[in-house]
C-alpha cells in the first residue's frame, strides 16, 4: 500500500478515510488528537487543535500561523486571525494536553528514562517573549534569542518531548510566577513539573544540561524524591567519602581530579551507539562515592560521581553525579546514552514540527504552540515506528538496565524487579491499552 506524500497532506479536501489507511503518521495524528484534546471543552476547539497539528506537519518552511492557516483550507485573513486567537488569545489550558500526551505514550510503550535538554531558539528583534542575549552552556556560546528546556519521553522505539519551560530571567507578560531566578532553576523546575504533571510511574531523569549537577539541583530532586543523573562540571568541588580512596580527608577536590586519582579502578563498559544503530561500543568508566559540601549537616548526602573516558591517556570526557548510589556504573552510562539519542532525534525533527517557530509576546501563546508541536512530534515518532515494521524489537541496550536506588533517610528500601521490555507493534501504537511497567524500587509510594 502506498504512503501518501507531504504534497498529498496539503490537500485539505482529501478524504480522511483514505488518508488514514495510507499514512501511519496521519493515523497517529487522528488517534493522538482524539486522546489528548479531551480537556478542550468545546468541539470547535478540539477541531482547531487537530487542524493546527496537521498544519504543523503539512506546512513547508517556517511554521508561522499564516503558513499553518493555509494548510487548513480557504479562509484568507479571517482563518489566520481565528488561528492566532486560538493560540495567543484563547484561555484553554495546555497542561492537561501535555499530561494526556504523556499518559498516552506511557500506555503505548514503556517509559525508559526522562531526558531533559536545553533548546536554544535564535531570534532577532524584541517581538517574541523571552528574547535576550543568552549564554547557552550546552553549546558554550552566547546567542540572541530564547532559551527553553524540554523534557523528553524516551523508550526503545519512541523519543518525543512532553514538557517545556521558557527561561524568563526578566519580567515578562504572563505574571511574576513566570520569572526564573537562574538558568539552573528554570531547567530543574521545568523537568520536575513535567515529571509530576505526567503522573507516570517514577523513573530516573537524565539531566543533560551542562554543569548543572550542583548542590541546589541535587537537593531539589532529593526533596521531590525523583532519582536523577546530572551532568557535573569538571571543576565542581566534592568530598571523597571512602577512607580507602585517594583524596579522603583532603577537603574538597575538583571532580576531574577525584576521578583521575581513581583511574586505576576503571572498567570497560559496553553500550549501544546512538549514532550508528546496531553498533556496540565500549568506553572506560570509574565511579566513586562523594559528598556535595553543604553548610547544613542535615542536607549532606552521598552521591555517586562517575566519569567516562574515550581515551585512557586523556582526561574523562563526561562527568555525571547521581543519587542512585547502588546502581552499577555500566547501567548509569547506558542511561546517559539516552541523552545522545534525544539530541539526534531533536536535530532531525524539531524543525519539521516548528518547535522553534512561534513569534509573539504572549507567553501562554508560546506554551500552546510548543504543546501542539509536541503532539505533532509524537505523531511523527509513533507513525514512524509503526511504519518501520509490524513489530519493532527492542534493541539490546536501548533501554536502561534496572536501577538500584538508595533509600533516602526515613524511607524503607523495597526489592527490585527489572522492567521487561516489550516489542513496539503497529497494533500497540494504534491501541494504547497496556500500562507501562516499572520495577518496585522506583514505584511511587
Give the separation between CA 383 and CA 338, rounded to whole angstroms: 21
| CA 84 to each of CA 40, 52, 69, 163, 368: distance values in angstroms, whole numbers, following the listed order | 17, 11, 9, 22, 11
**For residue 306, what are the β-bridge partners?**
287, 320
Query: Would you state the cell numbers that stand for residue 42, as one nine-digit string?
Result: 468545546
Per DSSP bridges, beta strands 141-154 and 114-122 are antiparallel
- Report pTM: 0.81
Nearest partner of 57 among 383, 311, 301, 276, judged by Cα: 383
The position carrying cell 504543523 is: 56
Condensed to tens digits (0 to 9), the pLDDT of residues 23-40 reads 889 999 999 999 999 999
Residue 104: name the closest of 419, 379, 398 by CA. Answer: 379
- The C-alpha cell at 250 is 583532603
Cell numbers at 86, concatenated? 486560538
The pLDDT-based confidence of 361 (bands split at 50, 70, 90) is confident
* pLDDT reported for residue 418: 34
Helix axes 24-36, 95-108, angle to 10 degrees: 130
Residue 307 pLDDT: 97
In the prediction, which pLDDT does 158 show?
A: 94
Of 63-72, 95-104, 424-433, the least confident: 424-433
- In 3D space, the residue among 397, 387, 395 whose CA is nearest the CA of residue 426 turns out to be 387
Amino acid at each position: 500500500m502506498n504512503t501518501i506524500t507531504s504534497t498529498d497532506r496539503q490537500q485539505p479536501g482529501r478524504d480522511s478515510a483514505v488518508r488514514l489507511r495510507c499514512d501511519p503518521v496521519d493515523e497517529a495524528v487522528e488517534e493522538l488528537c482524539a486522546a489528548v484534546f479531551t480537556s478542550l471543552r468545546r468541539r470547535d476547539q478540539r477541531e482547531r487543535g487537530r487542524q493546527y497539528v496537521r498544519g504543523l506537519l503539512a506546512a513547508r518552511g517556517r511554521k508561522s500561523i499564516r503558513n499553518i492557516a493555509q494548510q487548513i483550507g480557504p479562509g484568507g485573513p479571517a482563518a489566520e486571525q481565528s488561528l492566532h486567537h486560538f493560540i495567543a488569545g484563547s484561555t484553554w489550558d495546555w497542561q492537561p494536553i501535555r499530561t494526556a500526551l504523556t499518559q498516552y505514550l506511557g500506555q503505548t510503550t514503556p517509559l525508559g528514562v526522562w531526558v531533559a535538554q536545553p533548546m536554544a531558539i535564535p531570534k532577532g528583534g524584541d517581538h517574541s517573549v523571552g528574547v535576550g542575549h543568552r549564554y547557552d552552556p550546552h553549546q558554550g556560546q552566547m546567542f540572541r534569542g530564547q532559551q527553553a528546556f524540554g523534557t523528553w519521553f524516551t523508550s526503545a522505539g519512541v523519543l518525543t518531548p512532553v514538557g517545556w519551560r521558557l527561561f524568563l530571567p526578566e519580567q515578562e507578560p504572563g505574571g511574576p510566577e513566570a520569572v526564573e531566578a537562574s538558568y539552573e532553576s528554570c531547567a530543574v523546575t521545568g523537568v520536575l513539573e513535567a515529571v509530576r504533571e505526567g503522573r507516570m510511574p517514577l523513573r530516573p531523569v537524565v539531566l543533560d544540561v551542562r554543569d548543572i549537577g550542583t548542590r541546589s539541583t541535587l537537593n531539589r530532586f532529593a526533596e521531590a524524591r525523583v532519582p536523577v543523573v546530572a551532568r557535573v562540571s569538571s571543576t565542581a568541588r566534592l568530598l571523597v567519602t571512602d577512607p580507602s580512596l585517594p583524596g579522603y580527608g583532603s577537603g574538597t577536590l575538583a571532580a576531574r581530579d577525584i576521578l583521575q586519582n581513581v583511574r586505576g579502578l576503571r572498567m570497560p563498559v559496553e553500550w549501544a551507539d546512538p549514532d550508528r544503530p546496531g553498533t556496540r561500543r565500549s568506553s572506560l568508566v570509574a565511579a566513586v562515592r562523594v559528598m556535595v559540601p553543604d553548610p547544613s549537616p542535615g542536607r549532606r548526602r552521598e552521591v555517586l560521581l562517575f566519569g567516562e573516558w574515550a581515551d585512557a591517556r586523556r582526561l574523562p570526557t563526561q562527568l555525571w553525579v547521581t543519587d542512585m548510589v547502588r546502581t552499577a556504573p555500566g547501567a548509569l552510562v547506558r542511561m546517559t546514552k539516552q541523552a545522545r539519542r534525544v539530541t539526534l532525534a531533536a536535530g532531525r525533527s524539531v524543525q519539521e514540527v516548528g518547535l522553534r517557530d512561534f513569534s509573539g509576546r504572549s507567553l501562554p501563546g508560546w506554551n500552546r504552540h510548543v504543546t501542539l508541536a509536541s503532539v505533532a512530534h509524537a505523531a511523527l515518532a509513533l507513525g514512524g515506528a509503526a511504519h518501520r515494521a509490524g513489530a519493532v524489537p527492542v534493541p539490546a541496550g536501548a533501554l536502561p538496565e534496572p536501577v538500584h536506588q538508595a533509600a533516602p533517610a526515613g524511607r524503607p528500601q523495597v526489592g527490585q524487579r527489572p522492567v521487561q521490555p516489550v516489542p513496539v507493534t503497529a497494533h500497540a501504537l494504534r491501541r494504547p491499552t497496556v500500562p507501562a511497567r516499572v520495577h518496585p524500587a522506583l514505584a511511587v509510594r
